């Protein structure tokens, strides 16, 4: 599980970390219970400020994706169930917006759902 930062991107670095961890969990690259690198370690090897990495970990913890143990550091949470409805309201809203863009771009519902299915299955099986 190697993080790749894009310092020229408009999405903040702490969010890039958060997003990559989330996708790592979803893809199976990060297994439940697996230990994440130390804040210091990750900061050093990526050239990122420790404050930034800390912010990302705080966010991931708050969202329930990881758990932090004072002794052993951070590890991937097991059996995460975040929202009762299944998806955070913010993500629902983002999904509605993307659907609107797709509709304007001329995609039919079927075509859009194919893209969605592709997005769902794309991150799978990175560990063969």
In the list its own copies, DNA, none, the entry touching 27 (Cβ below 5 to 8 angstroms by class) is its own copies
CA angle at residue 52 from 54 to 64, to 5 degrees? 45
Q: CA-to-CA distance for 45 and 76, rounded, in angstroms?
A: 20
List beta partners, residue 76. 66
Residue 30 binds DNA (CB under 7 A): no
Following DSSP, what letter does each residue of 53-65 receive, concatenated? HHHHHHHHHHHTS
Q: Considering only 21-29, 37-45, 80-88, 91-99, which stretch makes contact with DNA by CB under 7 A?
A: 37-45
Task: List residues binding its own copies (CB under 8 A).
Answer: 7-9, 12-13, 19, 22-23, 25-27, 49, 65, 67-71, 80-83, 86-88, 91-92, 94-107, 109, 111-113, 115-117, 119-123
């Amino acid at each position: 599980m190697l993080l790749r930062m894009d310092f020229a991107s408009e999405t903040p670095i702490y969010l890039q970390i958060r997003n990559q961890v989330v996708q790592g969990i979803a893809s199976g690259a990060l297994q439940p219970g697996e230990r994440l690198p130390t804040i210091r370690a990750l900061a050093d090897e990526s050239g990122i400020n420790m404050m930034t990495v800390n912010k990302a970990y705080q966010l991931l913890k708050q969202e329930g994706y990881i758990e932090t143990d004072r002794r052993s550091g951070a590890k991937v949470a097991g059996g995460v169930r975040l929202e009762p409805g299944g998806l955070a309201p913010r993500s629902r809203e983002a999904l509605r917006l993307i659907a609107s863009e797709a509709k304007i771009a001329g995609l039919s519902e079927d075509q859009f759902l194919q893209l969605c299915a592709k997005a769902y299955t794309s991150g799978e099986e990175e560990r063969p």
